[in-house]
Structure 1
Amino acid sequence: MNTSKMRTALALSLMVFYSGAQSFAEPKNADHDGHDHSKYEKATLPQLLEIMEESVEELTSIASGKASHDAEASIETLIDAAQALPSKSNALEEKQILRVKSAIGSMQTIAMKLETALHQNSLSEVEKYAGQIGKLFALVEAQYPEATHQEHEGHDHNH
């Protein structure tokens, strides 16, 4: 085997090793398939927004010490519902979908920080991150005025 073929083989084997090692280094939340994702894929847009809103309210209650829900379950529910949202956003303009996707990405990052703060019992950090998630949800929700009005005002209104 000549030198360039050896280098190529070595480079490929290192790339394969590195990519395999990366999968072990990912955060445990990166792949949380311990529950049913299909309910989020089957949910309607108003249902997803309602699920997200409930999760944000639970996290806010936990952060303020008013409730003792399972924060990790609330975070997971919020992120799973958020990830299903873009597929239900056909009626939005491209810039609105980009805002939603950006907010969801930020929400995921802050949710991981929130989870860390909860494990460290850093209440000021928990409050800060829960507040940021609430603001991001408000930004997401603002992109869907019709869907939120249908859900919050009832289904029998004539406009």
Structure 2
Amino acid sequence: MDKNQGYSILKAVMLENGRGFALGHHPTAPSPYVTWACYDDKNGQRQYEWGHYGNDLAAMEQDFSDRVKDYQRLYYVGIVQTEAPGLYKYYSTQRPVDIGTFPKPPHNAPDEIVNYDRRIPVEGGAFLAWGHLTYTRPLTEKEASDYELRPASVISELSRKKR
């Protein structure tokens, strides 16, 4: 996950107009929690501004939620993407996860890589997988298909259709 000024980004919401908000945590800072307005610059680098700092996680989560809702109400924009460590899970159905078997897009390295001892049924038995990876941001369809990765949500949808 991203870091800014020593704060690890716990979650972020990006809106239709390219703006968004992030919640961060820095355990040794005088104010360990922060919410920022954010956007991705022309180089795809996340920029943070207008920080609200605090000591209470629950209060800062409420501030994060309020900032998103207020901005949506003022500018009539919807949420395009929610980001958080481990939020987007992909299964490796063709081979164990190893070097060169998964995408590493800029600013979206895998948060977790797990190999299973053998190929096992996952998501209600809809597929067999050798392991899984989790990402903070979703992969593009091309990134997932180039490495033969299946998003967990697709597996869940297929499983529900079979019942």
Q: TM-score range, shorter-chain basis? A: under 0.3
- Bigger relative contact order, structure 1 or 2 (CA pairs below 8 A, ≥6 apart): 1
TM-score where L is the length of structure 1 = 0.27
Q: Which has the larger radius of gyration?
A: 1
Q: TM-score, normalised by structure 2?
A: 0.27
